[in-house]
């Protein structure tokens, strides 16, 4: 089984786009039928979509997901400059060097340095 799609809802697409692009993602703007304009980024075999918060869909704040990244130090600095916040500073762990950041809406992203 593989994760195919992750959708999170954000207050401001432009602000969230800046944050996630600082993580290294590249977005395309999409719209399916009469649905809302949203952003879509390919992560190898998975897709991350950012949808605007609406009254007809539940909040996704509280969602936490993880990304394998090539390096943590400079990446944490870039996402903090792009409106993110630091939840836990980079530390060595059994899984490798890791840190947790939060996007401007409060979604937590666990960053783990990929040493393989």
Partners of 91 in beta bridges: 98
What pLDDT digit, counting tens, does each position of 11-42 carry? 999 999 999 999 999 999 999 999 899 999 99
Query: Could you tell me the pLDDT band of residue 4, with boundaries at 50, 70 and 90?
Result: very high
What pLDDT digit, counting tens, does each position of 52-71 carry? 998 888 889 999 999 999 99
Confidence (pLDDT) at 116 = 64
Confidence (pLDDT) at 106 = 96
Q: How many CA atoms lie within 13 A of 94 on its CB side?
A: 0
Average pLDDT, the chain: 94
CATH topology (fold) of 5-113: 2,3-Dihydroxybiphenyl 1,2-Dioxygenase; domain 1 (3.10.180)
List the domain boundaries for the chain. 5-113
Q: How far is 49 from 7, CA to CA, in rounded Å?
A: 5
Q: How far is 82 from 91, CA to CA, in rounded Å?
A: 22
> Is this prediction's pTM over 0.85?
yes
């Amino acid at each position: 089984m593989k994760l195919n799609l992750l959708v999170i809802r954000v207050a401001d697409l432009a602000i969230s786009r800046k944050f996630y692009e600082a993580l290294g993602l590249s977005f395309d703007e999409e719209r399916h039928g009469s649905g809302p304009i949203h952003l879509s980024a390919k992560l190898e075999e998975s897709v991350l979509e950012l949808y605007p918060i609406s009254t007809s869909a539940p909040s996704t704040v509280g969602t936490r997901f993880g990304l394998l990244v090539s390096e943590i130090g400079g990446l944490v600095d870039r996402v903090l400059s792009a409106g993110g916040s630091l939840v836990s500073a980079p530390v060595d762990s059994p899984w490798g060097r890791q840190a947790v950041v939060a996007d401007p809406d409060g979604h937590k992203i666990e960053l783990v340095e990929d040493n393989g």
